[in-house]
Amino acid sequence: MSDENQAVETAEAEPKIDINMIKEMQARIKELEEQARRLKEHNDKVVEDRKAANAKREAAELRAQQAKAEAEGDMKQLLELKEKEYQKELQALKEKNESYENERKDRMLNDEAMRLANELAKTNPGRAKLLAKELKERLKLTEDGIKVVDERGNLISDKTDSLMDYAKSNYDFLCDGLQSTGGGATGSSSTVVQKRFSEMDEGEKVALWRDSPAKYNAAKAADINKGE
């Protein structure tokens, strides 16, 4: 084999990372996240304003009913209205507590996913952020702590660090030092895309992965098997 052919094969096996493409993708994701955040804040405010208005109206009606019952000396009706008022206040406190608890749980999952992602992508915070979003989908908070789940939500591991190998196999292009190694995956040799995995640039790999992680893994495995 000539040196020229060997150089071509090496270049095919180890595609270079398109840094500009990665930066553009990260900027676009950040822009979309900001748009989603503003839209959510607006919707949340509309919902809260509506709830506050309804609560204010209902409270005024209840006070008017209580005043009427008291003026008429109807103690039974007055006690029933007081109980109704108490139950409404209790329900409001329960809803607020549930909201705080859900936010706390979500922060715990975010923090753990980010911890793992930072270990895998120490040199690039942008890649770490993308990776954390994917890893969070495989985490679940239980009474015994944070566990690892499969695609269907079934518990598969008590140790979150087990996601390290999963990330290296499925999101190697987001992990430090793995973007062009090709990994060591095995699997079906059937071709699921027209272009070989080793011939794709980084943007095409990202697009394939976002379209279907299963196709990404199959294409990667098929390309490795072809080269053996």
207 with 136, same domain? no
160 with 143, same domain? yes
Is residue 157 within 8 Å of 116, Cβ to Cβ?
A: no
The continuous run of DSSP H or E covering 101 comes out as helix 75-120
135 with 203, same domain? no
214 with 173, same domain? no
Is residue 130 within 8 Å of 29, Cβ to Cβ?
A: yes
96 with 154, same domain? yes
pLDDT at 224: 61
Tens of pLDDT, residue by residue over 124-157, are 888 888 899 999 999 999 888 999 998 888 888 8
128 with 211, same domain? no
Q: Is residue 6 situated within a structural domain?
A: no
Domain enclosing residue 198, as ranges: 182-228
pLDDT at 10: 45
pLDDT at 66: 86
Distance CA 117, CA 14 (A): 23
pLDDT at 106: 93
85 with 193, same domain? no
- Other CB atoms closer than 10 Å to residue 113's CB: what's the count? 24
Q: Is residue 120 situated within a structural domain?
A: yes
Q: What is the band of 104 on the pLDDT scale with cuts at 50, 70, 90? A: very high
- Other CB atoms closer than 10 Å to residue 168's CB: what's the count? 19
Residue 1 has pLDDT above 80, yes or no: no
Distance CA 198, CA 208 (A): 13
Distance CA 127, CA 26 (A): 8
| 14 vs 64 pLDDT, higher one | 64
The sign of the CA dihedral 42, 46, 51, 53 is positive
Residue 227 has pLDDT above 60, yes or no: no
Is residue 102 within 8 Å of 117, Cβ to Cβ?
A: no
- Per-residue burial over 124-151, b if 16 or more Cβ lie within 10 Å, else e, is bebbbbbbbebbbebbbeeeeebbbeee
Residue 179 has pLDDT above 70, yes or no: no
Tens of pLDDT, residue by residue over 185-216, are 333 323 334 567 777 776 677 777 766 666 77
pTM: 0.51
Is residue 202 within 8 Å of 182, Cβ to Cβ?
A: no
Considering the chain, what is the average pLDDT of its residues? Answer: 77
Q: What is the mean pLDDT of residues 23-46?
A: 82
Distance CA 9, CA 3 (A): 10
